[in-house]
Structure 1
Amino acid sequence: MKEIWGQWDDEVKQLFYCHYGDLPYLLDVKVNEHLFRALAQYWNSAYSCFTFGKVDLVPTIEEYTTLLHCPKIQVDRIYARPANVPAFSEKLMNITGMSEQWVTTWIKHKGDCKCIPWRNLRDLVLAHPDLKKRVDVFALSIYGLVIFPKALGHVDEAIADLFDRLGKGTSPVPAILAETFRSLNACRRAGEGRFIGYAQLLLSWFHSHF
């Protein structure tokens, strides 16, 4: 993903910034495994915050919104999954601009969820004739692989629903924070569990305080 971003010219990058903010800068944030493990040890599951001695710190919606640099986010528009949503194939057709045959060919099952491999989305990012669609698919891939990683190398069905709402100004930040807290709690319960969340953003927030 970093290589693709580095190959884009300023026009394409500005189109991305306009619609999705400065997410790509977080691709350059290296996740220090030792620092992350140490940080997780200070997570207080009872109060959902980091406790450093007598100081309590927790990422806020305002801080995460600032770090994402997204001009179209409306803080008061929080994402909530509706009871009835279009099928995964329909959402992918809308996002990618590809045919139903193409979409259904590449949809896979991972456990109890549907997903699409990054390699197929990468091909669209590199060769799609519609520039805006290339940007959309790249943004979808960041959300599926970096922000909400679930199935390694695949974009999960749930991401497509959230992504579909971003164009309406819906803020993804509460969902990102909720997943961050959930994963930190799971790590603490497991003692040495795997953090499944936006590690780059959490570390950027941490560095902004220290």
Structure 2
Amino acid sequence: MQLSEFGLKEIWDQWNEEVRQLFYSNYVYLPYLLDVKVDKYRFRALAQFWNPAYSCFTFGKVNLVPTVEEYMALLQCVKIQVDRAYSRVVNAPTFSKRLINITGMSEQWVTARIKQKWDNKCISWKNLKDIVLAHPDAKKRVDVFALSIYDLVIFSKALGHVDEAVTDLFD
């Protein structure tokens, strides 16, 4: 599946200036990722260095793993504390509670759409796309769209699905 099949760029192009400004005010540079052109020949060359065991590129004995600072710069996320490693909160909300908070949908709606993919819970992009296209609250549309970019573009794990771990980071 190609990124263009998700329709993220088309959704962005349909939004009016008011919704785009709301998105920019909350997620600054994130929509620019929708315009990145992938050079398939360079991508194929890099693919031979992909290390699936560590989910990173390995050149010789050097692993290329983005640092917390690089993620902060990319995502414009000021909430991350640089001097601390990321760890889950002990009493963190469940995946369904985070989805309810992010999407504004009911517990029944969320629970009915959560799937198990390999070792993680996730929700289909098709379900979230419906929210992005039709939710009456523009802020919720923007948040769900940003969550989708985080998962489908940056931290993609289960193609076409938004993963529990990304909602944890996002929320």
- The match for 2:11 is 4
Higher Cα radius of gyration: 1
1:91 corresponding residue in structure 2 = 98
The answer as to 2:146 corresponding to 1:139 is yes
What is the number of equivalent residue pairs in this alignment?
Answer: 154
Higher relative contact order (CA 8 A, sep 6+): 1
Shift of 1:127: 0.7
What amino acid is aligned across from residue 97 of structure 1 in structure 2? G
Cα shift readout 1:4-63 (whole Å, capped 9, x = no counterpart): 0001111111111111122121112122222123346595352335xxxxxxxx966666
2:53 equivalent to 1:48? no
User: Partner residue of 1:121?
Assistant: 128
- Look up the equivalent residue of 2:140 and give its one-letter code: K
Q: CA RMSD in A?
A: 2.4
Distance of 1:73 and 1:45 partners within structure 2:
33
- Where 1:109 maps in the other structure, the secondary structure is strand
Residue 112 of structure 1 pairs with residue 127 of structure 2: no
Cα separation, partners in 2 of 1:31 and 1:150, compared to 1, 3 Å: same
Task: Give 1:137's aligned amino acid.
Answer: V
Does the residue aligned with 1:48 lie in a helix, a strand or coil?
A: strand
Pair 75,106 (structure 1): closer, same or farther in 2 beyond 3 Å: closer
Question: Aligned in 2, Cα 1:104/1:66: closer, same or farther, shift over 3 Å?
Answer: closer
2:52 alignment counterpart: none
Query: Residue in 2 aligned with 1:17?
Result: 24
CA distance in 1: counterparts of 2:74 and 2:169, whole angstroms: 19
The equivalent residue for 1:103 is 110
1:18-97 to 2 correspondences below 5 Å? 18-39=25-46, 41=49, 43-48=58-63, 65-68=72-75, 70=76, 73-74=78-79, 76-77=81-82, 79-97=86-104
Moved segments of 4+, more than 6 Å? none
More displaced stretch, 146-155 vs 18-27: 18-27
| Residues 121-169 of structure 1: CA deviation (Å, up to 9, x unaligned) | 00001110111001000001111111111111100111110000xxxxx
Gaps of 5+ in 2: 1-7, 50-56
Partner of 2:157: 150
Structure 1: distance between partners of 2:74 and 2:100: 30
Q: Which segments of 5 or more consecutive residues in structure 1 lack a partner in the other structure?
A: 50-57, 165-210
Scaled by the length of structure 2, what TM-score is found?
A: 0.78
Q: CA deviation at 1:82?
A: 2.4
Which string of whole-angstrom CA distances, capped at 9 and with x for unpartnered residues, describes residues 52-103 of structure 1?
xxxxxx96666665555x3x52564564322332111101001111110100
Per-residue CA shift, 1:177-204, capped at 9, x if unaligned?
xxxxxxxxxxxxxxxxxxxxxxxxxxxx
**Equivalent-residue separation in structure 2 for 1:67 and 1:162 (angstroms):** 14
Identity of aligned residues (%): 64
